[in-house]
Amino acid sequence: MVQIENFDGILLATTNRVESLDRAVMRRFDLKVEFLPLAPEPLRELLKAVLPERDHRRLATIPANHLAQRRLTPGNVRTALDQLDLRGLPIRLNTLLDALTLEEREQQGQRQQMGFV
């Protein structure tokens, strides 16, 4: 905390565990910004931007209330796309939704077991 107070510049800090920081630390930050999961329509627009055009019609049929239940950020979408790329899978609506579901589980601490199956 002393180093934060004595720092003569702009400090940007990020965390996904803000609840674990105590009030003394939080007082050292002049501005706090929370990035919430995407609302249904911005999520739909982001997915539309990364999916091939042939999947746009199917994406449009997903109800907004289904998208509202997803807790996804642009970072989750980027990570899911990277996972598809690493696994050599095509970027299609089904594969992307599956990868996003895995990301949500990981985010909630429901990790899949690794190793030989």
Whether this prediction's pTM lies above 0.75 is answered by no
Q: Which two three-digit tokens encode residue 87?
A: 């696994």
Q: Answer yes or no: is 34 within a domain.
A: no
Average pLDDT, the chain: 90
Q: Answer yes or no: is 7 within a domain.
A: no
Nearest of 83, 68, 81 to residue 37 by alpha carbon: 68
Q: Answer yes or no: is 83 within a domain.
A: yes
Q: Answer yes or no: is 8 within a domain.
A: no
Give how far the C-alpha of residue 104 lies from the chain's centroid of Cα atoms, to the nearest Å. 8
Long-range contacts, stretch 72-80, CB < 8 angstroms, 24+ apart: 72/37, 72/38, 72/43, 72/100, 72/103, 72/104, 73/35, 73/37, 73/38, 74/38, 74/46, 76/100, 76/103, 76/104, 76/107, 77/46, 77/47, 77/50, 79/103
Q: Answer yes or no: is 85 within a domain.
A: yes
Which range among 23-32, 41-50, 77-86, 104-113 shows the weakest confidence by mean pLDDT?
104-113
Q: Is 13 helix (H, G, I), strand (E, B) or coil?
A: coil
pLDDT average, residue stretch 53-80? 96
pLDDT at residue 55 greater than cutoff 60 = yes
Which range among 11-15, 30-34, 50-54, 109-113 shows the weakest confidence by mean pLDDT?
109-113
Residue 80 structural domain: 40-107
pLDDT at residue 74 greater than cutoff 80 = yes
pLDDT at residue 111 greater than cutoff 60 = no
Q: Answer yes or no: is 102 within a domain.
A: yes
pLDDT band at 101; cut points 50, 70, 90: very high
Nearest of 113, 109, 107 to residue 75 by alpha carbon: 107
Q: Answer yes or no: is 75 within a domain.
A: yes
